[in-house]
A and B are shown apart, each in its own frame.
Chain A
């Protein structure tokens, strides 16, 4: 009887320690999760800024001006366009 009590008491103490341990781990992980979420948000914002930058560089008005003035490109005239037929297309 008393031996069983001692064993149960020991088990109880171990369980209590395990609860503390689990709680601590949960909190650590939670802090980590929060940190990562914050990082994800920051990356998301950075992605948005990069997209904005990309679309500013790729703005058709800018590309048009650069192509004409710096690269000297022109749309090909009709005489210089050759129409090819892809064989095997329905």
Chain B
């Protein structure tokens, strides 16, 4: 609204008699003030803006960590084997802690300890804070929170639980307090299971509510879940039967491996002694070792089917070829002896009766290189490839370094070492018409895998037929029979090497077998370390474990029986058909 003088009269009224310098002085002061204010504003808004904005943001903005937790591990049917769940733990900050005697007694009661015990717990002189009890139960947590004592507080943390406990302990493994996998699958798949914490920047209001999402800094990644190949029911059966056998035979230890012959999946793997992964105290390394994967042993007679396969493959013998088998046979300085001698045996009978002399004579018809080649192809001396941490490759020396004696002892399983998992895997060649599927601890679909051909289908079937004779009358594995099913397998009883000498009274009893023999679906390997209850033959110690686990597993998988009717002793005659189905299953296989 500018003033425009319209006439002289009004102009006159406004006229003041002021000295011109006063006008200039006042105008100058006002202008100076304006420049000052504008300059300051420019300084704050223009030049110094980042600093001030930063100060402002610091009051309202926060970086928020997005918590993540470790993924679950489940068996092939979704039964949980490991899960992380938040628990409350009770912490104390001694500087602030004030408990009157009444509260002291109350707290001791809630925690289930005597008042003096609690006094001792709290007496710790630390500057920081310490855990009184981790974890506390939800009921305890509620009672403690209701007390509202200063210096006592509950902290939320994730804890790993293993619902299957000791049953699947060696496969699943466990984590340490920092949630890092220490053993087993927990360690092998640490990166996948762990997940990653995220971070984002948020704006908060006066009351602490988040009001704006400003920027994600790191996206959180939840820990991935794992579905193992393990079948918890079969795993439990393997665990139960093994534990019972260890007890009956007063053995030092033992292992059971159950493989799916068609897919190479590890359906069960149990060891004795074992441990409870939920109990974090009293950890000893000895029971924690996964013997089936890590320990190696000399396979003894369980190697003989590979000798048979090697000679059949080259056309040197066929299953009915007759061989002279004297009671003893000398190779160099070594006298090979049979426990149950027969003067003449067919190749099938050599396997059936586990004749050392026969096996040596078969192996001697091959060159070292030829025999080595078969063992090497079967996976001996190589990592089985299960991906399990610390799996061992066993030992198979190059053929060129074999002495003739070693070539002979190698025919009945001395001079090389294998792990139970490796040996059971190698038997997959006989079960699966010559093809070995890659091992897996994780569940997979059959079409996902391509096998590796080790033997021709006809050789694999011939050797399988020989191994079926092992469980028939006159074989070493009569106690491995499973009612209703045809079973093929091989017993092994090996002397243990103690301080460089074979101990005459310490044995390793083993049995590796498969069923239904007409088209094997399962392979089970059992080894019992130092049975000292008087019985030590593989067929009598490891065999019954095999039979129990196999019978229950076959029922669990509802596989149709393949034995001829007469052998199954059925009260009613069932029609012999291509695809019978088990209908009546009472009580389950548990």
| A residues at B contact (CB < 8 Å) | 26-27, 30-31, 34, 45, 48-49, 51-52, 54-56, 58-61, 63-64, 67, 73-76, 78-86, 89-90
Contacts and interface: CB of A to CB of B under 8 A. Distances in A.
Given A59-B164, A60-B233, A83-B581, 15 more contacts: A45-B86, A51-B83, A52-B83, A55-B80, A55-B164, A59-B163, A61-B240, A64-B236, A67-B587, A74-B587, A75-B590, A76-B587, A78-B570, A81-B584, A83-B560
Contacts of A27: 211-212
26 contacts: A27-B212, A30-B211, A48-B83, A51-B72, A51-B83, A55-B83, A56-B163, A59-B167, A60-B164, A60-B233, A61-B240, A67-B590, A73-B588, A75-B589, A75-B590, A76-B585, A78-B484, A82-B584, A83-B560, A83-B570, A83-B583, A84-B574, A84-B583, A85-B575, A85-B581, A89-B581
Given A55-B79, A67-B590, A48 B84 contact: yes
Interface in B80-95: 80, 83-86
A76 B83 CA distance: 35
Nearest to A56: B163
**Best-buried of A76, A78, A80 by chain B (most CB within 10 Å):** A78
B206 interface: no
A38 B441 CA distance: 35
B83 A75 contact: no
A56 B232 CA distance: 13
**Best-buried of A27, A54, A60, A79 by chain B (most CB within 10 Å):** A60
B569 A85 contact: no
- Binding site of A, secondary structure by majority: helix, strand, loop or mixed? helix
Interface string B192-221: 000000000000000001111100000000
B568 to A, nearest CB: 6
B588 A75 contact: yes
Contacts of B583: 82-84
**Best-buried of B163, B574, B578 by chain A (most CB within 10 Å):** B163
B555 interface: yes
B165 interface: yes
Nearest to A63: B590
A60 B83 contact: no
Contacts of B83: 48, 51-52, 55
A81 to B, nearest CB: 5
A69 to B, nearest CB: 13
A25 to B, nearest CB: 12
B443 to A, nearest CB: 17
Contacts of B232: 60
A34 B361 CA distance: 78
**Best-buried of B232, B575, B590 by chain A (most CB within 10 Å):** B590
A56 B213 CA distance: 40
A86 B581 contact: yes
Q: Sort A-B residue pairs by CB-CB distance and give the 6 closest, nearest first.
A: A60-B236, A55-B163, A55-B80, A73-B587, A78-B483, A84-B583
A52 B587 contact: no
A46 B493 CA distance: 52
B570 A34 contact: no
Contacts of B575: 85
Nearest to B589: A75
B209 A81 contact: no
Contacts of A82: 570, 572, 574, 583-584
Nearest to A67: B590
B47 interface: no
Contacts of A78: 483-484, 568-570
Contact of B209 (A34, A64, A79, A89): A34
A81 B212 CA distance: 67
Contact of A76 (B211, B212, B586, B590): B586
B388 to A, nearest CB: 23
Given A64-B240, A83-B580, A52 B590 contact: no
A31 B588 contact: no
Contacts of B213: 30
A54 B79 CA distance: 9
A80 to B, nearest CB: 7
A30 to B, nearest CB: 6
A30 B211 CA distance: 6
A59 B167 CA distance: 10
A48 B167 contact: no
Nearest to A47: B85
Given A52-B161, A76-B586, A85 B86 contact: no
Contacts of B581: 83-86, 89
Nearest to A74: B587
B571 interface: yes
A30 B210 contact: yes
Contacts of A34: 209-210
B579 interface: yes
Contacts of A83: 560-561, 570, 574, 580-583
A51 B85 CA distance: 10
A62 to B, nearest CB: 10
B14 interface: no
A59 B235 CA distance: 12
B118 interface: no
A31 B580 contact: no
B569 A60 contact: no
Interface in B154-203: 161, 163-165, 167
Contacts of B483: 78
Contacts of A31: 209-211
Contacts of B84: 48
